[in-house]
């Protein structure tokens, strides 16, 4: 069995210029926008008290994104908010004037005209972009990497998008989608990652994810707790940058311990942290992991800056960690609410359980400072987005 690897973040700190992107004021704007959707409701923050007891923690909270907008994953928060900001900018409005109803109104459509949104995706982001484009009466083109499953393809095609599965990995699909968008005079690239020169849209996407983080922040406070540890998974790291950025702003003094987890096959942030010089490392190749949402080998440049300054540990997790987490959340300790958590959603559960119970990882447990006083928060970022594989892992695997 491959081992979990970890590294303490000792990368040099920067001036931290991106942290204010995730401040309270920006989160309020994103939240207000998402609240205007008829599909909106806060997703549950599930308190697994029996599980906490079993693992030897004080409390354990799981944000369950399988309930998000009927789309089974958090991702739509980013794409929809980026598209709304783009429409606002193009029509000379402030984002605070834009609601779901204004966005779908014939008046706005006339003012804005016709556009095609291009993107690359492992599944969830593309589904969110296609869904938002469809609602707005706009077109979308979605490129998926080699190995993408039929179910994820069908869910995007259902939203009226032109979808293809390419013979390339995720990062290459991003480049291909960007080329297509550049060649189309009405084309706009809506990608969930940033690179030098492409920062505005991914910033809006990260702020859109802030809706999830700020809900969780409020929900945990309502439960009378303050997280001591936050575990968040990363593909390109936009999500991790958003969540860690939000909580670093919220708890400026004495922030919780922040832990970023990746699929071992695509652990570009872990590799960057291991090199410790503050420069990005890229992981190339097929990036084969069942954690499809985490199969990205090139970090988001904005998010990387936030992560450098505010992450405590980077952890590289083999697939078994996630499979274990899926089973544990699906069938937790008696008395706790089950959470349907997919391949990219459950890695936090598998990691926390392993660290708390397996003596081979005692050193990591000690370094993280996980004790019976710890109040742990993790994000189950997707439900069973690939139902066949979900069933196989929970019901059939030996």
Ligand X SMILES: Cc1ncc(COP(=O)(O)O)c(C=O)c1O
48 or 347, CB closer to ligand X? 347
Which SS3 state, helix, strand or coil, does residue 376 take? strand
Among 11, 27, 52, 73, binds ligand X (CB under 6 A): 73
By CB under 6 A, which span of 13-21, 91-99, 154-162, 230-238 interacts with ligand X? 230-238
Closest Cα to residue 378, out of 359, 351, 356?
Answer: 351
Dist. CA 71–CA 291, nearest whole Å = 18
Shortest distance (Å) from residue 308 CB to ligand X: 15
Residue 329: closest CA among 124, 4, 65, 58: 65
196 assigned to active site: no
Cα–Cα distance list, 290 to 230, 308, 366, 395 (Å): 23, 27, 29, 16
- Backbone angles phi and psi of 355, in degrees to 5: -65, -35
| Catalytic option among 29, 63, 75, 324 | 75
- The CA distance from 69 to 19, in Å, is 27
Q: Would you count residue 79 as binding ligand X (CB under 6 A)?
A: no
159 backbone dihedrals φ, ψ, rounded to 5°: -85, 10
> Does the annotation mark 277 as catalytic?
no
Only one of the segments 17-25, 89-97, 120-128, 142-150 lies at the binding site for ligand X (rule: CB under 6 A); that segment is: 120-128
Q: Give the nearest distance from C-beta 381 to ligand X in angstroms.
A: 3
Residue 139 and residue 114 in contact, taking contact as beta carbons nearer than 8 Å: yes
Cβ distance to ligand X smaller for residue 178 or 238: 238
Q: Looking at 235, 256, 325, 332, which residue binds ligand X (CB under 6 A)?
A: 235
3-state secondary structure of 339: coil
Total residues belonging to the chain: 398
**Degrees to nearest 5, angle at CA 152 with 84 and 288:** 110
Residue choice 11, 120, 236, 250 for contact with ligand X (CB under 6 A): 236
Which of 124, 311, 341, 354 binds ligand X (CB under 6 A)? It is 124
From 13-21, 174-182, 231-239, 280-288, give the range in contact with ligand X by CB under 6 A: 231-239
Are residues 64 and 46 in contact, defined by beta-carbon separation less than 8 angstroms? yes
149 binds ligand X (CB under 6 A): no
Binds ligand X by CB under 6 A, chosen from 19, 82, 234, 243: 234
In the complex, the residues that contact ligand X under the rule CB under 6 A are 73, 75, 122, 124-125, 192, 233-240, 293-294, 296, 344-345, 381-382
Would you name the residues annotated as active-site residues? 75, 122
């Amino acid at each position: 069995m491959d081992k979990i690897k970890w590294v303490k973040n000792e990368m040099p700190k920067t001036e931290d210029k991106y942290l204010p992107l995730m401040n309270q004021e920006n989160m309020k704007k994103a939240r207000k926008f998402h609240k205007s959707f008829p599909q909106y409701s806060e997703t549950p923050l599930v308190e697994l008290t029996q599980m906490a007891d079993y693992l030897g923690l004080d409390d354990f909270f799981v944000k369950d994104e399988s309930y998000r907008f009927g789309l089974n994953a958090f991702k739509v928060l980013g794409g929809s908010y980026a598209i709304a900001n783009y429409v606002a900018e193009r029509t000379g409005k402030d984002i605070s004037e834009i609601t779901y109803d204004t966005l779908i109104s014939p008046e706005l459509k006339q003012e804005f005209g016709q556009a095609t949104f291009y993107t690359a995706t492992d599944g969830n982001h593309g589904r969110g972009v296609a869904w938002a484009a469809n609602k707005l009466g706009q077109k979308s083109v979605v490129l998926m990497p080699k190995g993408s499953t039929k179910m994820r393809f069908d869910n995007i095609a259902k939203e009226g998008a032109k979808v293809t599965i390419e013979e390339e990995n995720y990062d290459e699909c991003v480049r291909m989608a960007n080329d297509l968008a550049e060649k189309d005079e009405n084309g706009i690239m809506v990608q969930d990652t940033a690179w030098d020169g492409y920062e505005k849209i991914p910033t809006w996407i990260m702020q859109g994810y802030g809706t999830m983080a700020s809900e969780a922040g409020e929900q945990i406070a309502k439960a009378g707790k303050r997280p001591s540890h936050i575990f968040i998974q990363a593909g390109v790291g936009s999500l991790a940058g958003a969540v860690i950025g939000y909580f670093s702003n919220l708890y400026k003094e004495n922030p919780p311990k922040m832990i970023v987890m990746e699929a071992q096959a695509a652990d570009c942030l872990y590799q960057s942290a291991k090199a410790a010089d503050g420069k990005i490392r890229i992981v190339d190749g097929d990036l084969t992991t069942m954690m499809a949402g985490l199969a990205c080998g090139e970090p988001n440049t904005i998010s990387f800056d936030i992560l450098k300054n505010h992450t405590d540990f980077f952890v590289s997790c083999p697939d078994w960690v996630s499979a274990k987490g899926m089973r544990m959340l699906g069938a937790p300790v008696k008395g706790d609410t089950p959470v349907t958590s997919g391949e990219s959603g459950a890695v936090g559960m598998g990691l926390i359980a392993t660290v708390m119970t397996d003596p081979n990882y005692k050193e990591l447990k000690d370094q993280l400072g996980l004790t019976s006083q710890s109040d742990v928060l993790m994000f189950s970022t997707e439900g069973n987005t690939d139902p066949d594989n979900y069933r196989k892992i929970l019901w059939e695997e030996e």
